[in-house]
Structure 1
């Protein structure tokens, strides 16, 4: 494409024409003349033109694998018999394995190897808990990965020392023992992200190895993954490439404070200090009060860097909000979990803590920069669904959790419009010289925000190139 002129789009409340070329916004104004027949003309008919959406926290390969896996979600699999049917319908992959995802114990209780054998035992089966923290293996899978002789601390064992088939926070360990194979293709995920209007993603997978970084780089280079990519798990030794250069960029260094086993205080001091000495801010996974309080005490000692951020902040007591602001921390959270799992939270969390769940409005009011994200595949990938959840905070049964934490639709959208390097900063703007990462909607913004749906996305440009077009 040599150039593009978008005619009559709503930009910041005004009807403007926007000229695009060389991957950037070249000009905005009224009644701009077309620059010759080679310049493509798109009539916006008053539809909003907004910056491309940025998902500030997801897991690329896990989401791609999820799309190709057997769903064990409580929304589709109701009980043990339904789970057995789903696993029996599943076709083994090229290595002969079945992979289930998004399981919750409300379906059939805690799955052990023996219980999975009763559901499907003639082929290796592994099922991931919807939290992403636990894998459950049947006996054939236990034998295939040699779980009996494993020394990983996440291997759960019974009173006799035999593995139960349950494996906690051991993704990398398990991956190394699975049959060799290529990583899942990112092409389908790239297309789905484009359909949602997402032009930039931050992969939040910790401790990425060189092969995984190379696979993401290759997917970007060949166009399978058209989105711009930032990596929280890029090795500390890696150097961020210039913005105009292709390939993924290094983000803050991901640290997981596992709710099942918090790190030693001195260990966390050393981990954060090492990242800061390498010039990398940290992005710290915090889903419990205990993890959050431990982190804040450590940061008081080691200090902070601009860009330090909290991932999830699932339970945030109100008394720490001034500390978050004083330390200059950002928060990247996922209100989509309220719609997806809110009824579980309502039952499992004390009523007086419901307002602490996935805070949004109070963080903004306290001056804490707030970015929104999906945490896909563990939360809903659709940003418009996350926006609805941030506005409504309704569970699946219709209950409202923390009504005082509701965002306005415009505020929720802003959570996806801040820069990937600085989630929670003011939204990016459409101005001459800015990268042409843009989304054209079918209607004015007020109309879209009144009922935010992915179907309102009409045209998506990444670097001026169409990643999605329904223009006729």
Structure 2
């Protein structure tokens, strides 16, 4: 393929217009725009001066959960904001669903209708089995029909508040007990959605990923359901995997596109694990060549994570996921531990109004910090935490720039980033989040994202950016509808044209 008249290097230096030749899945040649004549039978993509950048990497999301969420009913903001709207949405879904089939809702937040329970759901949907996931991902609320099916041949889990039908931290028990959580979902729709946003690599951060889940990701990648490279976090069972890929080969194109990632510690402040047991688990994974990633959305969780990491000893690639509250006194500790922070700036936009109501005023300046972390010398990368956050990385970048909530409130204005720095959060190698952004240069892997406008136009409103084309190893995996024409991407039959 030949990409003509593309704008590159707008992050690192003065932007320049180039022609880009791709061969063998890599960038084979760069030259001034208009200077590379097409070869016979070479596909030509006219960029028209639009920005071309390396394919984005989302460093924190949940693939299988996202696949299921795409077929689930939104039950919280912004789609649903009142109790009446939630009842209407559930009843509308019930009207088109057979009585024996489950209704699965996601994204519920108490701002909609308070702490709804089994009795509330029974009034709204009495006959269909219903399960609704709270926005945190930890709590499920079920109605009586669902509860009867779940308990038909099993003892209740410890996290079940029976009368309320509220099931907390019992995903392992729920998994396989309802049709909506059985088996491994197809990732084809997820792959297309990610490609449409210019994403060519992701880090799968689900704590309960085990060897079976890992093999499912391998199979999905091999079957072509998912074009993106995948770094898979998970539990201690992944320690047993032999990671044969060259550590420097962060593109993974020489293998199956799936690699073992860090041990995931999903910490909960109300029930922190035993300190010494956690240190031993970290040490075992470190000895197996794995880094550790700790989920920390409260200050207590962050302090605990830093303590166990200090006791276990440093390992390259150790990470803190979220660091949702990081006051100044923890920044020297983060730097001393050598960890990378993977943040979700989209939550400032998506949840900022809720934070203003629920987070103590003293903690609000330290929510999802960005500039403060970079200024302290702490490596920083970005992810959207889909499906618990919206999939669009461009909206996340704009949130990093503006630091505004959905209703316009500014949270932590001093943490804002320039558009180029916001983009860089999604350009580091999967295996090295927080490292220098990948560049378009000869020899680099042809994982590319072509925007619909030059960077000067894009940087003014990153949320408005649309991706014109996404390439993985030089192969087109997404083209915007208006560009799916023979004139836009065609084999060249006249090399001199």
Q: Normalization by structure 2: what TM-score? A: 0.89
Q: Which has the higher contact order (CA 8 A, sep 6+)?
A: 2
1:455 positional shift: 4.5
How big is the alpha-carbon RMSD for the aligned residues of Structure 1 and Structure 2?
A: 1.9
Aligned match of 1:34: 37
Q: Name whichever of 206-215 and 264-273 sits farther off.
A: 206-215
Deviation of residue 245 (structure 1)?
0.6
3-state SS, counterpart of residue 355 of structure 1: helix
- Give 1:259-270 correspondences, 5 Å limit: 259-270=269-280
Cα contact 1:329–1:368 (8 A) shared by 2: yes
Shift of 1:151: 5.5
Residue 75 of structure 1: how far off its partner (Å)? 2.1
User: In 2, distance between residues paired with 1:239 and 1:392?
Assistant: 43
Report the Cα distance in structure 2 between the residues aligned to 1:272 and 1:211, rounded to whole angstroms: 21
Report the counterpart of residue 491 of structure 2 in structure 1.
none
Give the counterpart of 1:152 among 153, 157, 160: 157
Deviations 1:255-285 (A, max 9, x none): 1002332112122212212211221000110
1:10 aligns to what?
7
Determine whether 1:23 maps to 2:25.
yes
Q: What does the per-residue CA deviation read over 1:350-407, in whole Å, with 9 as the maximum and x for residues that have no partner?
A: 2222111000000000111100110001111100100011111111221101111111
CA contact (8 A) 1:147 1:155 kept: no
SS in 1 for 2:363: helix
C-alpha separation between the residues in 2 aligned to 1:37 and 1:286?
54
Using the TM superposition, name which of 263-272 and 399-408 deviates more.
Answer: 263-272
1:161-183 CA distance string (max 9 Å, x none): x4531111222220122248543
- Deviation string 1:415-434 (CA, Å, 9 cap, x unpaired) is 00111111111100111221
Q: Deviations over 1:412-464 (max 9, x none)?
A: 00000111111111100111221110011222212211111465311110111
CA contact (8 A) 2:469 2:478 kept: yes
> Does 1:404 find its partner at 2:414?
yes
Gaps of 5+ in 2: 10-14, 246-251, 489-497
In 2, the alpha carbon distance for the partners of 1:408 and 1:39 equals 38
Instruction: Indicate if the aligned counterparts of 2:100 and 2:129 stay in contact, CA closer than 8 A.
Output: no
Q: Within 5 Å, which residues of 2 pair with 1:208-357? A: 208-233=209-234, 235-242=238-245, 243=252, 244-357=254-367
Question: Is 1:436 the equivalent of 2:437?
Answer: no
Q: Per-residue displacement from partner, 1:205-246 (whole Å, max 9, x unpaired)?
A: 112133332332222222221111111126221222423111
Distance 1:138 1:313, change over 3 A: same
Q: Whole-Å Cα distance in 1 between the matches of residues 278 and 36 of structure 2?
A: 59
What is the alpha-carbon distance in structure 1 between the residues aligned to residue 313 and residue 215 of structure 2?
Answer: 33
The SS at the match of 1:352 is coil
Alignment partners' CA distance in 1, 2:326 and 2:397:
20
**2:126 pairs with 1:129:** no
Once the 2 structures are TM-superposed, how far is the Cα of residue 76 of structure 1 from its aligned partner?
2.3
- Alignment correspondent of 1:189: 190
Counting matched residue pairs gives: 464
**Contact 1:83/1:119 (CA < 8 Å) preserved in 2?**
no
Match of 1:159 in 2: none
CA distance in 1, matches of 2:152, 2:414: 47
Q: What residue ranges of structure 1 are gaps of 5+ in the alignment?
A: 157-161
Q: What is the deviation of 1:329?
A: 0.4
1:452 match? 462
Cα distance change of structure 1 residues 366 and 56 upon mapping to structure 2, 3 Å threshold: same
